[in-house]
């Protein structure tokens, strides 16, 4: 099968972000950027399917500024075969991203599209589900297990009550959760080799999609800060403080 993996470049998940004092957004200049962690799990899932002989070709796509090349290279170094950067400096809404990806699906005709379940910058958790709707494919979101069964996938999903297993016929869209696998760190030779793999760059304006935003972001503000309280010296004091809290609680 042919697999398309969508990867996003985001502020590295270990960076403690800073909200700009003027409320216009989060400071991203001079901040370390990386592949979105969930996307890394999606790439790993694709590469593992390749190693099992289930996948014959893995294409990675990223939408964003020129520097998004870096996250495509990360995926190529992990084992994907070729890359596509849809270049734009604009901050696109998830519906626009999904529409651009739907165009890529139309061109590439992958049997499986793998995405991360959410991008850890906007925490939207939209694009996979939107892409499934736009391409009229079944979806299996929040995947922690993927098994190929002929022309179907059996996907285990992480849900509120625990886990569930569903069957989705191919072609399908699957979004990766962190427990799906342990992503590899590409060894240096693979990183070198990635640079010689094909990587096409096309402007986002080329796809005939209206890139305008529907929503207006009025402001970005920092959350209210929590201040340190007190440290108690004994278990009995701690128990008494709990008891005081519990007695104060309004009954629901």
Partner 1 sequence: MSVLLLADHDKGELSPSTARLVAAVSAFGPIDVMVVADNPDAIAANAAALAGVSKVLTVTAQNTSESVTNALLSAAGRYQYVIASAASVGKDVVPRLAAALDIQPVTDIIEIHGPSRFTRPIYAGNALETVVDPQPKHLLTFRASAFRPAASDNAAPVEKLDISIASAARFLAAHRTDSDTPDLATAQIVIGGGVSVGSAEGFRLIEKLGKTLGAAVGATRAAVDAGYAPNDWQIGQTGKIIAPDLYIAIGISGALQHLAGIQGAKTIFAINTDPEAPLVKIADVALIGDLFEILPQLTAELEKLGLNR
Ligand X SMILES: Cc1cc2nc3c(=O)[nH]c(=O)nc-3n(C[C@H](O)[C@H](O)[C@H](O)COP(=O)(O)OP(=O)(O)OC[C@H]3O[C@@H](n4cnc5c(N)ncnc54)[C@H](O)[C@@H]3O)c2cc1C
Interaction site with ligand AMP (CB under 6 A): 6-8, 36, 38-39, 42, 62-64, 94, 97, 115-116, 118-119, 122, 124-128
3-state class of 115 per DSSP? strand
Which residues, other chains included, contact 240 with Cβ-Cβ below 8 Å and sequence gap of 6+?
Answer: none
* Minimal distance, residue 125 CB to ligand X, in Å: 12
Q: Which residue is nearest to ligand AMP (CB)?
A: 116
CA distance 9 to 87: 12
Q: Which does 60 bind (CB under 5 to 8 A by kind): ligand X, partner 1, ligand AMP, none?
A: none
Rg of the chain over Cα atoms, rounded to whole angstroms, equals: 21
Stretch of 58-66, 68-76, 150-158, 197-205 lying at the interface with partner 1 (CB under 8 A): 150-158
Cα end-to-end span (Å), the chain: 53
Site for ligand X in 87-126 (CB under 6 A): 120
Site for ligand X in 120-139 (CB under 6 A): 120
Site for partner 1 in 21-80 (CB under 8 A): 26
Cβ-contact 173, 128 below 8 angstroms: yes
Q: Which two tokens stand for residue 219?
A: 């402001």
* Minimal distance, residue 118 CB to ligand AMP, in Å: 4
* 13 is an interface residue for ligand X by CB under 6 A: yes
Which residues, other chains included, contact 74 with Cβ-Cβ below 8 Å and sequence gap of 6+?
Answer: 7, 34, 35, 40, 43, 186
* Minimal distance, residue 158 CB to ligand X, in Å: 11
Site for partner 1 in 94-123 (CB under 8 A): 94-95, 98, 117-118, 120-123
Nearest residue to 121 (alpha-carbon basis) of 182, 167, 71: 71
CA distance 69 to 237: 56
Site for ligand X in 23-42 (CB under 6 A): 37
Q: Which two tokens stand for residue 154?
A: 């059996």
* Minimal distance, residue 40 CB to ligand X, in Å: 9
Residues near ligand X, by CB under 6 A: 13, 37, 120, 178
């Amino acid at each position: 099968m042919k697999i398309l993996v969508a990867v996003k470049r985001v502020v590295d998940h270990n960076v403690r972000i800073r909200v700009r004092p003027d409320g216009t957004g989060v400071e991203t200049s001079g901040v370390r950027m990386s592949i979105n962690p969930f996307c890394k799990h999606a790439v790993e899932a694709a590469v593992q399917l390749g190693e099992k002989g289930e996948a014959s070709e893995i294409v990675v796509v990223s939408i964003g500024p020129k520097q998004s090349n870096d996250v495509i290279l990360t995926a190529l170094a992990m084992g994907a075969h070729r890359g596509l950067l849809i270049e734009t400096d604009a901050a696109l809404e998830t519906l626009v991203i999904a529409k651009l990806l739907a165009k890529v699906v139309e061109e590439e005709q992958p049997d499986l599209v793998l995405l991360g379940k959410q991008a850890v910058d906007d925490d939207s958790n939209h694009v996979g589900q939107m892409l499934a709707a736009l391409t009229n494919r079944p979806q299996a979101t929040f995947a922690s297990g993927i098994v190929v069964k002929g022309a179907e996938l059996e996907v285990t999903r992480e849900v509120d009550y625990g886990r569930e297993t569903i069957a989705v016929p191919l072609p399908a869209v699957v979004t990766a959760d962190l427990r799906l696998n342990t992503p590899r760190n590409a060894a240096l030779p693979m990183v070198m080799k990635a640079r010689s793999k094909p990587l096409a760059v096309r402007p986002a304006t080329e796809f005939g999609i209206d890139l305008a935003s529907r929503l207006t972001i009025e402001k970005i503000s920092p959350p209210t800060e929590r201040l340190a309280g007190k440290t108690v010296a004994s278990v009995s004091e701690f128990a008494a403080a709990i008891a005081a809290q519990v007695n104060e609680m309004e009954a629901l």
